[in-house]
Structure 1
Amino acid sequence: MKFDHLHPADQICQIMKRIYDRKETTVSGGNLSIRDSEGHIWVSPSGGDKGNLQHDDVLEILPDGTVIGTKPASLETPIHQAILAARQDIKAVLHAHSPAAVALSIVHETPQTMLYPALANIAGKSALAVYGAPGSDTLAANVAKVFKEGCDVAILENHGLFIGSTRSMKHAFEVFDAIDFGIRTQLNTPVLCGHEPSLIREAQLKEYNERAQVPVMGTFAPDGVGNEEQLQREMMAMLCKRACQKEIFSATGGVISARVDGNSFLITPQGLDHAYADPDDMVLIQNGKCEEGKVPQFYAELFQKIYDKNPGIGGIVAANPPYAMCYAVSETDYDITLIPESYNILMSTKKFPFGSTFTKQDEIAEYLAVNRPVAIVENECYIIASPAVFKSFDRFEITEYSAKSVNMTIRGQKKIVNITEEQMKELSVRVKDRQKKLAEAERSRMESKIHKK
């Protein structure tokens, strides 16, 4: 879907619903605006059901100030107008009161965008806007001042945030979603790990970005789509959407890959908005060459090495889930000895230094295996591998949910009681027995299949 080709009013309705469905604003909170090519401003109305806005609910403001619409204008419309007047390059403005943004606003802090590259590269510059009463000229002037000084994000003291995009409303949401993920990591790292998160330096980010280029590889024209490939394409598109819904992926943050056969695998494309993922979006890599007309994620080179090294791995997911990422931006180790599920399914984790996705690809590929599924790259991401891509997604959910559980326990001032050594030994025996039975069942199934032939 070409989102930017939609009517401005429809764009506003769709993005407002996404914000509400993501639990990033209340049913009556937040507002959006778009400046079209003719200088008309389209803005969401006051109040109403922000999860169910309709095309005709959206107001149009003409250059002469005339307002066209059936609903009352939002109280904060003058702030949108002030931002757009201060920055002629801005095309869309987003305002929301997500719990994470409000949490920053009530301590008068700005987002720590240098937590990891996926955040640093999209977040832009931010600053605090001095407090003003909602709807007041003072607040409009204070917010506009932040944007006039070159910022794209304003944290309003004791309020929420405003984001301006020079590209589109969809891009404004992608920035907001990434920042919201980052704020959760920023605020929860001291809770989970006992200290402030570590940040990457500008020089590190520059070097990372110089390396994070689409791998140079030849191209090929696919000769149709086989059944297994189509199945994996559909599975990946479904998991992209679900990863957004389950807050494992931000709008554009995250990578999914699935093996097709011994010589080929699929990977998500560069810049994909996961909520709109389609099976045809996925990029086929075959014999080291890329499906023509498509641009794969830059992780393709690393994933190729992981698949080559580990024939048992059939799916890989990389992402920055907000609670689990607390352990990636700190020295604290991720603890798998919480419940049988985390111990049995995650099995093993290992940290790699920042930049290892380029400098230590062979080491990551050597480490990851069916019984060593989780690699944590400091200040970058988690990489989880499994025999099937669905299993990798399952492991990501367990990783993030377990981190959330620890967060709740610590905030409740309770003491965590881990699984004992004896219990871990018992679990290991049970897992081995189950794996043996599954292997025997699979062998019997294959033998029966051969006999039938």
Structure 2
Amino acid sequence: MKLTKHPSVIISEIMGIIYKGEMTTLSGGNISMLDEEGNLWISPAGYDKGSLTPKDIVCVKKDGSYEGIHRPSSEFPFHYAIYDRRPDLKAVIHAHPKALVSFSIVREIPDMKILPHTADICPSIGYAPYRLPGSEALGESIANEFEKGFDAVIMENHGTVVGGKDLLSAFQRFEAMETAALSIIDAKKLGGYNVLTDEQVQKSFTQFPQTRTGKSEIAYTTYELAVRDEIIRFVKRACKQKLMNNYFGTVSHRTHGDDFLVTRRHMARRFIRNKDVVKITKGESEAGKEASNLHQLHEAIYAKHDHVNSVIFTQGKGISAFAISDAKFDTRTIPESYILLKDIPFIGYDEFMADPSVLVNTLNKETPIVVIRNFGLVVTGTSMLDAYDRLEVAEFSAESLIESTLIGKLARIGDGEIQDIVDKFLS
């Protein structure tokens, strides 16, 4: 296992993301990873997760002794038990994210086949019966599930624990589980949700296979460097605002003609860097970089729609709830929603997989945003700012519509009022 950062730095960074993302509490949860020598690095017992720094991480030696200014987490025995049963795993995350805790206390497991990408990153989840926290029995209960081949486990009346080949892959699996659980709960408020079959999940990855990599070095103009910085800035913002997650999301921006910059395939979006943006010139990718496997859809959108200069594919929590349900996303609720989003069409998953061009042909000046059932949201704009504004409004509107189901009957803006909006803002 090759480390690019010290384990204490990696653990404190990931725990900071989890805590600031409201996926655990000040005292709840722990993270560990193994180094090349087999030492276990783990977050400390009883310490504020919101202010964790590298110096707070504890190193537990193979002989059981430890080094650090704090005691190791009281639950480090179950981390050891997992590593003992699954030597292929090098990192473990345990936390109490709200949605997964909700599943744990009703003793259910979220179905990750609501979206192809969540199903791919976490195809199955184990279930560990309740045992006393910190006990050997808890470690045995959890380790038994990992030994069966599960990489993620719901802990009965407790929370979740997730493993990975490294801490980033464990985090992405953890985030995918919580995002899926949140979307399922929201979809239930809308009346229920639909899941994909194994064949449908697989279709997503055969329809958009591995992309081509260019052979030639392609120089960036000053303008293109500025566009690259803008893409990076907005991807990081989208992750911070939970409009995008670490494992799925593609952003592009037109540069000249039908040429564009697009995010790379298989990247950690929260940690996007310059090398994660790929230049596509005359259909050719720059050397040594593999563009997103959706980049040909971006290419087709730019070729057909001259007014579009930015495209975002993503899966926000609220939007995903609508995407996996049969509910109507009614934008005729507040003026801002209708002005920016218009009426949002939905495309069926099988229809999209059979002919992706249906998306390209559905988009136009009057239809800047489309939801693909059990796949995600596509947003277009005349600029990156325009597309991102639509993305924010779409997610905020979706969450407001979902919560309104618990309050009363939805009251739409009337046709006359909609016409006034059109006359004033859209004519």
The answer to whether TM tops 0.5 is yes
Instruction: Could you tell me which runs of 5 or more consecutive residues in structure 1 were left unpaired when the two chains were aligned.
Output: 434-453
Is the contact between residue 370 and residue 387 of structure 1 (CA under 8 Å) also seen in structure 2? no
Q: Determine the structure 1 residue equivalent to 2:253.
A: 258
Aligned residue identity for 1:133 = L
Say whether 1:426 aligns with 2:420.
yes
Unaligned runs of 5+ in 2: none
Alpha-carbon distance in 2 for matches of 1:305, 1:141: 52
For each residue in 1:354-389, what CA deviation from the matched residue of structure 2 results, as whole angstroms up to 9, or x when unmatched?
155553232211221222111111111111111112
Mapped pair 1:274 → 2:274: no
Q: How does 1:116-265 map to 2 (within 5 A)?
A: 116-165=115-164, 167-191=165-189, 193-195=190-192, 197-216=193-212, 218-222=214-218, 224-265=219-260
> Residue in 2 aligned with 1:27?
26
C-alpha contact 2:264 2:290 (8 A) present in aligned 1:
yes
The reply to whether residue 50 of structure 1 matches residue 49 of structure 2 is yes
> Match for 2:209: what amino acid?
Q
Alignment coverage as a number of residue pairs: 427
Tell me how far apart the structure 1 counterparts of residues 425 and 28 of structure 2 sit (CA, whole Å).
48
Misfit runs of 4+, over 6 Å: none
CA contact (8 A) 2:330 2:343 kept: no
Q: Which has the larger radius of gyration?
A: 1
Give TM-score scaled by structure 1 length.
Answer: 0.91
| Structure 1 position 423, deviation (Å) | 0.7
Q: CA deviation at 1:38?
A: 1.4
* 1:296-331 Cα deviation digits (max 9, x unpaired): 001111111110000100000011111111111122
Distance in 2 (alpha carbons) for counterparts of 1:168 and 1:9: 13
Instruction: Name the SS of the counterpart of 2:266 in structure 1.
Output: coil
Q: In 2, distance between residues paired with 1:182 and 1:280?
A: 29
Summarize deviations over 1:222-277 as a string: whole Å, max 9, x none: 1x322321221111000010001110111121111100011301110011212222
Offset of 1:292 from its aligned partner? 1.0
- With normalisation by structure 2, the TM-score equals 0.96
C-alpha deviation, 1:50, in angstroms: 0.9
| Aligned mates of 1:353, 1:162 — CA distance in 2 | 34
Aligned residue in 1 for 2:70: 71
After superposition, what is the alpha-carbon deviation per residue over 1:62-86, rounded to whole angstroms, capped at 9, x for unaligned?
1122222221221211111111112
- Structure 1 residue 345: deviation in Å? 0.4
Q: Name the residue aligned to 2:320.
A: 325
For the residues of structure 2 that align with 1:157 and 1:26, how far apart are their CA atoms?
18
Q: Distance in 2 between matches of 1:228 and 1:63?
A: 53
Match of 1:379 among 368, 374, 383: 374
Structure 2: which amino acid aligns with 1:209?
Answer: F
Using the TM superposition, give the Cα deviation of residue 188 of structure 1 relative to its aligned residue in structure 2, in angstroms.
Answer: 1.1
RMSD, aligned α-carbons: 1.7
Look up the match of 1:86: 85
* Counterparts of residues 336-355 of structure 1 (less than 5 Å): 336-355=331-350
Single out whichever of 203-212 and 95-104 deviates more from structure 2: 203-212
Aligned to 1:417: 411
| CA distance in 2 between partners of 1:169 and 1:357 (Å) | 34
CA distance, structure 2, for counterparts of residue 217 and residue 38 of structure 1: 36
> 1:208 Cα deviation (Å)?
2.2
Moved more, 346-355 or 126-135: 346-355
Deviation sequence 1:395-425 (CA, Å, 0-9, x none)? 11111111111222223x3222111111101
Cα deviation digits, residues 58-110 of structure 1 (max 9, x gap) = 11111122222221221211111111112111100000111111111111111
Over the matched positions of the two proteins, sequence identity in percent amounts to 28
